Structure 1
């Protein structure tokens, strides 16, 4: 093969590689907003201008605007598989520039209480891994696209994280309702921390201690890391926002019923403010 043919062959390969790269994810000017429960999603949908329903493979999405920003909103359903499925459909059909998640969680940081917010600087699967005879767990998922291991912790988009930290300082968030009918005078605490995900509702102080020790977890829930992994693998910026409904201890079910509405409103309020500030 002479030099001209080699050069021509190289150029063809280069163009093919560039075409392949160009066929990768192409974002559109729209922001994806997800939540696990209908009530969480409804809080966001209530703010939409000119809402329109779009059903994709049985999953309902609602498009509209928050301020000047185009958004698409969907309920993922509970658990990692539902969250990953809805996220994949969202990315494939709507091609959002970014994905934000609003929802509740169980608190694993002893300094936090129901109503407080954790901006997930990073998320991890706490129930994923393999145990060997030497008892050395492998916690890393594998990227289906690159075939390489993913990081244990999926980092949030730094720009979205900083924006959340900025806008929350000017928000009025709801305090914790008391048994007397009043509201706690303790200000709502907001922190950037670690959120861990597993297909289990944690209601055990022993498990809370384990998650805190093994992952440095500030909150635990059932969808965040699945959404983060899908976004990470397709290189779509994401941010998970969680407001605490309980402490993930033996009283979690009781606290959940009591504090869920407050937690859901606080999380949704922050996500909406982020979109407005984009």
Structure 2
């Protein structure tokens, strides 16, 4: 009898454990919904940082929402159509880690043919204006640093440089170049600073089709070449230039393809650093998520493109009203307008993806 009771209790425990949803494991209902969704795919994944950037898309007349939504991992995956093209819309939340987690969930769970990431950004390029919508060809993560010990400089090897963990190839920022005296910034080569130098580092890349744990490195991650080439058709698109009847931009905003953008989990509102990264890297949009999306898609071999509307000149200094909050709504709306047009190209001109060289 005792043996039968033990067997019964053990069986109940096993059944309870099997039916209990473990952390990170899909429950039966969610898995069924995912299977149903994937059978209807593939989809273009629209990855968006924040709600104020996502809502204009959800309210856009071209977006037709499906009744299907799937919640998993603290994210909500919304299904719908844009100009007849099947899409999944998901909000990441702020910063590189959130963007990376969300993008990997999207690619792991769903049948995704490509990713479009969009939102607003600060501007580091003095030739561009607030309201412009930028489409960079390359993205970097510019907050992966090796912070050098005080007293050492460019000729001194970094810790773990010999085995290839860190490198001096990309270059460095010397804090002493930004010594401040009498509230004026001056470049003083003789003045030192305990913060010394930070050296920019490439990301470790582990391609999905590579050998596990064999790393590659990349500082500049290219967007999909096909997507980038067809994005040229977006140039000339008419964009909004007024927030309301009394608040308008001095320059008519434009869609422009640029060379580079950069990301870090840092809100950049500093003129000196903005100027430094533009001079060093020739970047235009600066923000907090895109490089993470780029890195995940690059590793997973999924086509992607990033569309970022400029809401302010990072750190101030423009004649135009330069508080990010002033033109955030306008920038978000312009980014959505460009995204919808890009999806329309994918929907109605699929031949452009097959024959982009012509």
Q: Please, what TM-score do these two structures have when normalized by structure 2?
A: 0.65
Structure 1 alignment gaps of length 5 or more: 1-25
Q: How large is the RMSD of aligned CA atoms in angstroms?
A: 2.3
Instruction: Give the 3-state SS of the residue equivalent to 1:181 in structure 2.
Output: coil
Q: Would the aligned equivalents of 1:50 and 1:65 in 2 still touch at CA under 8 Å?
A: yes
Which of the residues 135, 141, 145 maps onto 2:203? 141
Counterpart of 2:225 in structure 1 is 158
Per the TM alignment, residue 176 of structure 1 is displaced from its structure 2 partner at its CA by: 4.9
Q: How does 1:136-215 map to 2 (within 5 A)?
A: 136=168, 137=199, 139-145=201-207, 146=210, 147-169=214-236, 171-177=237-243, 181=246, 183-184=248-249, 186-193=251-258, 194-215=260-281
Counterpart of 2:329 in structure 1 is 261
Q: Would the aligned equivalents of 1:174 and 1:266 in 2 still touch at CA under 8 Å?
A: yes
Larger helix proportion of the pair: 1
CA distance in 1, matches of 2:247, 2:328: 16
Per the TM alignment, residue 148 of structure 1 is displaced from its structure 2 partner at its CA by: 2.4
Indicate the structure (1 or 2) with the bigger Cα radius of gyration. 2
1:234 is aligned to 2:303: no
1:35 is aligned to 2:52: no
Q: How does 1:34-73 map to 2 (within 5 A)?
A: 34-46=47-59, 47-51=62-66, 52-73=68-89
- Write the deviation string for residues 174-211 of structure 1: whole angstroms up to 9, x where unpaired: 11559x81534632133222110001100111010111
Instruction: Give the 3-state SS of the residue equivalent to 2:134 in structure 1.
Output: strand
Counterpart of 2:284 in structure 1 is 218
CA distance in 2, matches of 1:150, 1:237: 19
Per the TM alignment, residue 270 of structure 1 is displaced from its structure 2 partner at its CA by: 0.4
Cα pair distance change 1:185/1:106, threshold 3 Å:
closer
Instruction: Give the 3-state SS of the residue equivalent to 1:218 in structure 2.
Output: strand
Structure 2 alignment gaps of length 5 or more: 1-37, 159-167, 169-198, 347-358
Instruction: Give the count of matched residue pairs.
Output: 251
Instruction: Give the 3-state SS of the residue equivalent to 1:142 in structure 2.
Output: strand
